[in-house]
Amino acid sequence: MGMNAPLYLLLLSLTAVHLNAADRSGGAAAVDLSSHSALRGGTLVREKREVRVQEGKGRMQQSNSASGFLIRFVQRVNLVRRLLNSETEEVQVREMACELTNYTGTAPPPAEQPSPLVGKTLRLRKSDGKWKAAMIGGKATVEQLKFLNDLAFTRLLLELPEACLLNQSRKPGETWKVSINESSGKDYGAVVAKDIECTLAAVDQRPDGPLATVHLVGNFSMERPMNFLSRIEVAFDVTLVRRLSDMLDVDTKITGHFKNIGLVNDRDGKETQLTLELPYTLVRTQAVERK
Architecture of domain 5-289: Roll (2.30)
Task: Check residue 66 and give its pLDDT.
Answer: 79
Identify the burial level of 18 via C-beta atoms within 10 angstroms of its C-beta, where 0-12 means exposed, 13-18 middle and 19 or more buried.
Answer: exposed
130-149: burial string, b at 16+ Cβ within 10 Å, e else: ebebebeeeebeeebebbbb
CA dihedral for 198, 202, 206, 210, sign (positive or negative): positive
In which region does residue 167 sit, left (phi positive, over 0), alpha (psi from -120 to 50) or beta (all else)?
A: left
| Residue 209 CB partners (closer than 8 Å, separation 6+) | 243, 244, 245, 246
Task: Check residue 262 and give its pLDDT.
Answer: 86
| Residue 14 CB partners (closer than 8 Å, separation 6+) | 156, 157, 159, 160, 163, 180, 191, 220
For the chain, the C-alpha Rg in angstroms (whole number) is 20
The H or E element containing residue 162 is: helix 160-164
CA atoms within 13 A on the CB side of 91: 26
Average pLDDT for the chain: 83
- Is it the case that residue 16 has pLDDT exceeding 50? no
Q: Where are the domains of the chain?
A: 5-289
Task: Check residue 187 and give its pLDDT.
Answer: 60
- pLDDT tens-digit readout, 101-112: 999 999 999 999
Highest mean pLDDT among 46-55, 137-146, 150-159, 260-269 belongs to 46-55
- Is it the case that residue 167 has pLDDT exceeding 90? no
Q: Which residues pair with 15 in a beta bridge?
A: none
Predicted TM-score (pTM) of this structure: 0.83
Say if residues 288 and 43 touch (Cβ distance below 8 Å): yes
The average pLDDT across 229-249 equals: 90
Task: Check residue 179 and give its pLDDT.
Answer: 74
Least confident of 40-49, 159-168, 231-240: 159-168
Task: Check residue 35 and give its pLDDT.
Answer: 66
Question: Which residue from 108, 72, 79 is spatially nearest to 95, judged by alpha carbons?
Answer: 79
- Is it the case that residue 14 has pLDDT exceeding 50? no
